[in-house]
Amino acid sequence: MANFVANTIVLDGAPTSSQQDTCFALVGYKNDIPTSTYSGQNADSAYPFANCLDYRDNTQYSPAADSGSVEIIISKQSLFTVDYFGLALHNGFSAGLTGKVEMQNPSTNAYEEIATFTPYGTNKTICEYLGVKEAFRFKITLNFTSKLFIGALYLGKSWSLGRQPDIGLKPASLNNVDEVIGFNDNNGQFVIGRVETVGFDTDASFSLIPMLGDNGIRANWPSFQTHCKMSRPFFFKWSVSNNDNTFGQYKNPSSMPDISYSTPFHGTVPIKMRGRD
């Protein structure tokens, strides 16, 4: 069961499974669901389940029922490892969404609850750190009281950065970049403009990230960079101890900044994204 603490701990390197309850940032770009066998989604034919797996937030999955529950089973023929769950909601708060993630214990075949979730605001993103879990099968339960719409559903192994961001973090929740169009005044007479929705920006930097290792830069940055250059979105959680999440795309992916060495064995990882919190 995910158990989050509030104290900030700076680690010497990337987290191990024994450090799963400490505070560090994660980047969730790998998704095991599209390459798995899945069932139980009971989708509305106008909003198929594939819509939440297509890396586009403007398409939606919706269960066929206007209220009730669905239990989505994700399975593979061999054991696979996950440590995060991401949900880009379109109306989860107003639809009364609650849910949980379970894993099937490979030894007993019994399902064990590893996280529960509920939206904490309108159109807010859910991203939960699960701890490192390995199984053949996982189950995601969605309970809702009115028609539910979901833009993206991720379950996979995150890039755990081992620490929280450097000083200077600009979190999406405090960085609305919507634009006001047509605002001007004439001799002190104000004309009200209109708001053009752009989204929220996140700007974070992580120094002293190990170059080597499973959570190191060399094992993750190239595949993350390829993911971003394909215009695919990702989840970012700057601390696993809170709900300050972002789901979006890397800003200007064709000119993503280079990785720079901060010591002979460490580098600095920049995360610059635009999306929604």
Reported pTM: 0.88
Contacts 24+ apart (CB under 8 A), 210-219: 210/13, 210/14, 210/162, 210/265, 210/266, 211/261, 211/265, 211/266, 211/267, 212/265, 213/13, 213/14, 214/14, 215/13, 215/14, 215/15, 215/159, 215/160, 215/161, 215/162, 216/14, 217/259, 217/267, 217/269
Token pair 């250059």 in the structure block, residue: 229
Report domain extents, the chain.
Answer: 30-157, 172-276
d(CA 248, CA 271): 11
Assess contact for 247 and 57: CB atoms under 8 A. yes
Element (DSSP H or E) covering residue 114: strand 111-117
pLDDT at residue 18, as a whole number: 43
Residues 6+ apart with CB under 8 A from 5: 21, 22, 23, 241
| Helix, strand, coil tally for the chain in percent (to 5) | 10, 45, 45
165-186 pLDDT tens trace: 999 999 888 888 777 777 666 6
- Residue of higher predicted confidence among 193 and 128: 128
CATH superfamily entry for domain 30-157:
Galactose-binding domain-like (2.60.120.260)
Per residue in 234-270, pLDDT (tens digit) is 999 999 998 889 999 999 998 898 898 989 999 999 9
